[in-house]
Amino acid sequence: MYNGVGLPTSRGSGSNGYTQANKFLAKPKNISAMAKAGEDGRLGGGGGVSEKKPNKDILEHQRKRQIELKLVQLQDKLVDHG
């Protein structure tokens, strides 16, 4: 590695030889701690799986879609029968 960058040498790389390593690349320090982290990235014991409560607005929208679907099916049925 040339100067901490993934080049074996700067020769033939099209650069002038001045290479910089990315100092802001966040690498995990402790992989076992990352494995224990929850979905949101926080560390903690968290014995069980916590379920998210469904959003009321989304549930209401789904209920309205089901009603709308039934209405369209009934409308098609009535149009077919005359």
Q: How does pLDDT run along the chain (82 residues), one tens digit per residue?
A: 555 566 676 666 777 777 677 778 777 677 666 566 555 555 555 556 778 888 999 999 999 999 999 999 999 999 999 8
For residue 43, is it within any domain? Answer: no
20, 5 in Cβ contact below 8 A?
A: yes
Backbone angles phi, psi at 79, to 5 degrees: -65, -40
Q: Which residues contact 10 (CB under 8 A, 6 or more apart)?
A: 2, 3, 16, 17, 19
Predicted model pTM? 0.38
CB 4 within 8 A of CB 10: no
- Does the residue 77 lie in any domain? yes
Domain containing 59: what range?
54-82
Q: What single letter denotes the amino acid at residue 64?
A: K
- Number of compact structural domains in the chain: 1
